[in-house]
Chains A and B, each alone.
Chain A
Amino acid sequence: MQLQKAKFEYLLRMGDNALILGQRLAEWLGHGPQLEEDIASANVSLDLLGQARLWLTYAGKVEGRGRGEDALAFRRDQHEFRNCTMVELPNGMRSERDYAFTIVRRVLFDAFQRALLPRLAQSADAEIAAIAAKSGKENDYHWRHSSDWMIRFGDGTEESHRRAQAALDALWGYTAELFVSDSIDRSAAAAQLAPAADSLREAWLAAVEPVIAQATLSVPAATRFLSTGKTGTHSEHLGYVLAEMQFLQRAYPNAQW
């Protein structure tokens, strides 16, 4: 694959992961289980939105067709999004909002960022390295917050334990996608822009497994399920996220604050 195209696609993956998870977390605004957690979700959402802006701005520059962060965030359709499927899932499985589900997803994602960002901070591309270093520092706090809550939920009441385990069982299969190296990952790795996706699983497990153990939860069994969001084939949920997130720019193209 042509390097510039692979770099653009890789940057979209980084930006879209942050953007879509940030949007999902923003849905908690005013609905958090307690005031502090409402604020925490909003803070993490804001950090992710800031990171998404940096990644997408750079993606637009690399693409060289004059698309800025707003054009990429608000004027692409779902098949053009490159986020992993896990981040677009609703905030709960059986109800609109389940905080255990939201936290467990964050643990799995924050741990992935924890494995990825320090490696990306060594990228041969100075801009990628700078954004990754910045994001990595913020992710340390996100991870502390999410892993802390997962332990409380897992090692909490019978109900919180049950919900945390159900969330982990439901989400585990979606993590396989994160560690599949396709032609984009391979091109990026060959040019030393990014680490190969399949080289990250060990560090991810090393972060996630002790938290699962401390939370008295069990690691779900592996399945053959493989989601494909990062290649642009998404679940039925992403369309709804975009319908809300993109409404203003779709209704009033190029509107400015």
Chain B
Amino acid sequence: MVAASLDAAQVWRVLARIPDPEIPVITITELGIVRDVRLESGIVEVSITPTYSGCPAMDMIERDVVASLLQAGFSEVRVRTVLSPTWTTDWIAEEAKARLREFGIAPPARRTAGVDAQRVHLHTRAVPCPKCGSAQTERVSEFGSTACKAHYRCLECLEPFDYFKPL
């Protein structure tokens, strides 16, 4: 029993070192997509959930998980995809949000209930610029360089930046 829990902790430690392929400043555990780790008769089963259903990084993450755990000495690794409960940006670790900002990506605002209700949004809440901190920013496009980001620009320092969309 003690050995088993130690090994599961070891799995988590390995997973906590795997960077997200598209945003390498945060790890897959900080991103909140690792949902469960099970270890039974030497077989590791890792459950991950996709950020966006079409996220092309998922296959790579799955390969990284298998490769990292095999390298760490586990002999058989299975990755399971779970959809429920659906991933939310609220699961991103707070320390990781600070690192996102340093990397030039505005971290997602916390989701508040009812924000996305029936209203049509022509303007959204202010997203502070990750470079200069100004709240004078505007959305250029709802969609950015990856599925999880929107494209913004700062009206103060004039820098364009990505915003990690709250989901």
Contact = CB atoms under 8 A, between A and B. Distances in A.
A39 B145 contact: yes
B-side binding surface: helix, strand, loop or mixed?
Answer: loop
Contacts of B73: none
Interface residues of B, number: 25
Interface residues of A, number: 37
User: Which has the most chain A C-beta neighbours within 10 Å: B52, B118, B167?
Assistant: B52
Interface in A185-214: 206-207, 210-211, 214
B147 A46 contact: yes
Interface string B135-149: 000001111110100
Contacts of B108: none
A117 to B, nearest CB: 11
Nearest to A215: B120
Contact of A126 (B53, B84, B121, B145): B84
A53 B150 CA distance: 24
Do most interface residues of chain A lie in helix, strand or loop, or is the interface mixed? Answer: helix
Question: Among the interface residues B116, B142, B151, B165, which one has the most CB atoms of the partner chain A within 10 A?
Answer: B142
Contacts of A210: 120
Interface of A: 36-37, 39-40, 42-44, 46-51, 53-54, 126-127, 129-131, 133-135, 137-138, 140-141, 144-145, 147-148, 151, 206-207, 210-211, 214
Interface of B: 50, 52-56, 83-86, 116, 118, 120-122, 140-145, 147, 151, 165, 167
Given A144-B121, A147-B120, 19 more contacts: A36-B140, A36-B141, A39-B143, A40-B141, A42-B143, A43-B143, A47-B52, A47-B147, A50-B53, A50-B54, A51-B53, A53-B54, A133-B86, A134-B50, A138-B52, A141-B142, A144-B120, A206-B118, A214-B120
